[in-house]
Structure 1
Amino acid sequence: MKTIITNIKVYILKGPKEKRPHWVSNFIVPNANELLVILETNQGVEGFGLATSYTDMSPIVHVIESGISEKFLVATP
């Protein structure tokens, strides 16, 4: 049987708000978020990816949940 993507889950991971900003590489980060994306297949295989953002992740999650994920369903991973 051909392996296909059957489900996509998206989560925003946040820690407590920082009391003060911290430095990363060459700029100040006031707050950081992680986007966790989990892919599931018809054969029970799961995979995940993480992305970091220093701004609001809600617009990204909205795009994924409002239809773009359907483009990936039934695709071969």
Structure 2
Amino acid sequence: MEFLLRLKGNTDVWLGLRRQGERLERVDGSSFNQRIPVQGQEPCLFLKDHDLWSSSCSKQRPYVCSKASVLMGTT
């Protein structure tokens, strides 16, 4: 979460997560297993300040959908 907070700065960003009933899933359909409180009742989630909020999916915002894994090797 700290990475996302640094990346977004003062801008609200879509996270590529949707609400499906009581659970959250990624926009590619894969499950998101972390239990995170979400403000609001709309289907699409965005990061505002330090909290997750929901909004209509048609609202325009910058987005962050994934972060590549970085493997640390030994030299």
Q: TM-score range by the shorter chain?
A: under 0.3
Structure having the larger proportion of residues in helix: 1
TM superposition score normalised by structure 1? 0.26
| Max Rg structure | 1
**Higher RCO (C-alpha 8 Å, min separation 6):** 1
Structure having the larger proportion of residues in strand: 1
TM superposition score normalised by structure 2? 0.26
